[in-house]
Amino acid sequence: MVEKGLICTNCGRSYELKQLHYRCGSCGEPLEVTLYEGGGIARGNALAQSVLSRYKAFFPFETLDSRVSLGEGMTPLVSSPALAARAGIGSLLLKNESQNPTWSFKDRGTVAGVQHALKLGIRRIGTVSTGNMAPSVAAYGSRAGLETFVLVNEGIPKEKLSPIGIYGAHLIKVAGDYGRLYHESLRIGQEQDIYFINSDAPMRVEGSKTIAFEICEQLAFDMPDFVVVPTSAGGNLRGIAKGFREFLRAGLIHRLPRMVAAQARGCSPIVKAFEAGRLEISREEAPRTIAHAIENPLPPSGNEVLRILRKEEGLAVSVTEASILEAQRTLAMEGFFVQPASAVGYAAVLKLAEAGTIKEEDRVVVVLTGSGLKYTAALDRHTLEEETCALENLGDHLLQYRGL
């Protein structure tokens, strides 16, 4: 195994992997683990492997701790001819990340972060989140027997707190500017040796690589044309893009798909910068969208996402609230009940297909980032019909649908 280090995604400055580094001391941009230039998939039955064991050649862990994995990843890639037809494209595949231990893609990054913490001998971890990351870090931290701190904003409603609190981490409501909390937590973490696995921490990005690895395997290494990712901090898109890049360097695939960063129009700092041809994002001053899980006014990896899109012919696209809700319903009627943030991906496909950017013959993968059960308040935005009948009349009631 080659000794890995961290490198600044922007200026290329190097850092050691064995210390808690997240962002470049020179330019402030996010760091990442240096690219793997080779490696293969471990032999064996995927049913009996974890993502860290199957893709071991792409992680800096010689041995895996048995207290870490909860069975994350290995999620299905499901073809939907119906949704492809609706968009007017050749093929649509849904990577359903809601089938993870805490029902979002976050578990992949968390398992990598926790394994890294154990390797470094760090006994305390944390995260800043009110969304999918909080329960994920709470679950993995408790499982591994680590002192775990989940920092949430003061105003978080009880119904969002309890599904985090049940895992038994320290749940700390922090009063003050939530945006500053991200940077403050990293600073305090470095001081006090608490490993904060925040949204775009290098090891979280490494975990997200496995989404790309699995897509490659599931498509028998025949690459799709586009991979659409609902984008908040930017860590997930970065990870998926890095995964494809590493499989390309390893000779496992022969071309990269085009990455698409999908955001809600009500909070789309990356899309705005991309469309204006800017190299840096600006803060979204009045973020407002039902896609709460991706409502990040100043994505910490926003600039790096812009760099990736520029270098690899990617795209950024934003969609309206109405189209998000419509996509949520459409996905549910195809069997996938996702949270609004996840529906942003398919809404983006519809928009890009309409514009002719995604073409009739293209094959598109959409990442469904998390379960609809995580934000049931969104159900109130849908008109759901129900019928009523007496048991004695059930036969007659059903008969009316006979001709359908």
Within residues 124-183, the interface with a copy of itself by CB under 8 A covers 124, 126, 135, 139-140, 142-143, 145, 147, 149, 151, 154, 159, 161-163, 165-168, 170-177, 180-181
Q: Which is nearer to a copy of itself, 18 or 329 (CB)?
A: 329
- Both tokens assigned to 284: 């979204």
List, as one string, the DSSP characters of 106-162. HHHHHHHHHHHHHHHT--EEEEE-SSSHHHHHHHHHHHTT-EEEEEEETT--HHHHH
Q: Which is nearer to a copy of itself, 276 or 391 (CB)?
A: 391
Q: Which stretch binds a copy of itself (CB under 8 A): 2-10, 19-27, 43-51, 262-270?
A: 43-51
Q: Which is nearer to a copy of itself, 356 or 395 (CB)?
A: 395
In this structure, are residues 294 and 230 in contact, taking their beta carbons and an 8 Å threshold? yes
The distance of closest approach from Cβ of residue 314 to a copy of itself in the complex, given in angstroms and rounded to an integer, is: 25
- What is the rounded distance in angstroms from the CA atom of residue 194 to the CA atom of residue 214? 31
In this structure, are residues 308 and 208 in contact, taking their beta carbons and an 8 Å threshold? no
The distance of closest approach from Cβ of residue 400 to a copy of itself in the complex, given in angstroms and rounded to an integer, is: 10
Strand 77-79, strand 31-33: pairing = unpaired
Q: Which is nearer to a copy of itself, 12 or 44 (CB)?
A: 44
Is 105 one of the binding residues for a copy of itself (CB under 8 A)? no
**366 three-state secondary structure:** strand
Q: Which is nearer to a copy of itself, 131 or 314 (CB)?
A: 131
* Binders in 216-245 for a copy of itself, by CB under 8 A: 217-218, 220
Give the residue from 211, 254, 243 showing the smallest Cα distance to 367.
Answer: 211
* Binders in 69-88 for a copy of itself, by CB under 8 A: 69-71, 74-79, 81-82
# binding residues, a copy of itself (CB under 8 A): 99
The distance of closest approach from Cβ of residue 173 to a copy of itself in the complex, given in angstroms and rounded to an integer, is: 5
The distance of closest approach from Cβ of residue 255 to a copy of itself in the complex, given in angstroms and rounded to an integer, is: 20
Cross-strand pairs, 95:
77, 367
Distance of CA 306 to the CA centre of its chain: 17
* Binders in 311-330 for a copy of itself, by CB under 8 A: 328-329
Residue 112 has phi, psi (to 5 degrees) of -70, -40
The distance of closest approach from Cβ of residue 316 to a copy of itself in the complex, given in angstroms and rounded to an integer, is: 28
Give the position of tokens 């941009």. Answer: 29
| Distances 245 to 31, 220, 256 between C-alpha atoms, Å | 17, 16, 7
Binding-site member from 19, 35, 333, 354 for a copy of itself (CB under 8 A): 333
* Binders in 1-40 for a copy of itself, by CB under 8 A: none
Strand 226-230, strand 258-264: pairing = parallel
Is 250 one of the binding residues for a copy of itself (CB under 8 A)? no
Q: Which is nearer to a copy of itself, 3 or 387 (CB)?
A: 387
Is 252 one of the binding residues for a copy of itself (CB under 8 A)? no
The distance of closest approach from Cβ of residue 81 to a copy of itself in the complex, given in angstroms and rounded to an integer, is: 7
Q: Which is nearer to a copy of itself, 37 or 386 (CB)?
A: 386
* Binders in 269-308 for a copy of itself, by CB under 8 A: none
- What is the rounded distance in angstroms from the CA atom of residue 283 to the CA atom of residue 302? 10
Strand 147-153, strand 91-96: pairing = unpaired
- What is the rounded distance in angstroms from the CA atom of residue 358 to the CA atom of residue 352? 5
Give the position of tokens 């893009």. Answer: 241
Q: Which is nearer to a copy of itself, 28 or 335 (CB)?
A: 335
Q: Which is nearer to a copy of itself, 82 or 279 (CB)?
A: 82
| Distances 191 to 116, 172, 202, 260 between C-alpha atoms, Å | 18, 19, 18, 37
Give the residue from 310, 360, 281 showing the smallest Cα distance to 29.
Answer: 281
- What is the rounded distance in angstroms from the CA atom of residue 374 to the CA atom of residue 371? 6
Binding-site member from 105, 226, 337, 346 for a copy of itself (CB under 8 A): 337
The distance of closest approach from Cβ of residue 355 to a copy of itself in the complex, given in angstroms and rounded to an integer, is: 28
Binding-site member from 60, 89, 92, 100 for a copy of itself (CB under 8 A): 100
Q: Which is nearer to a copy of itself, 22 or 274 (CB)?
A: 22
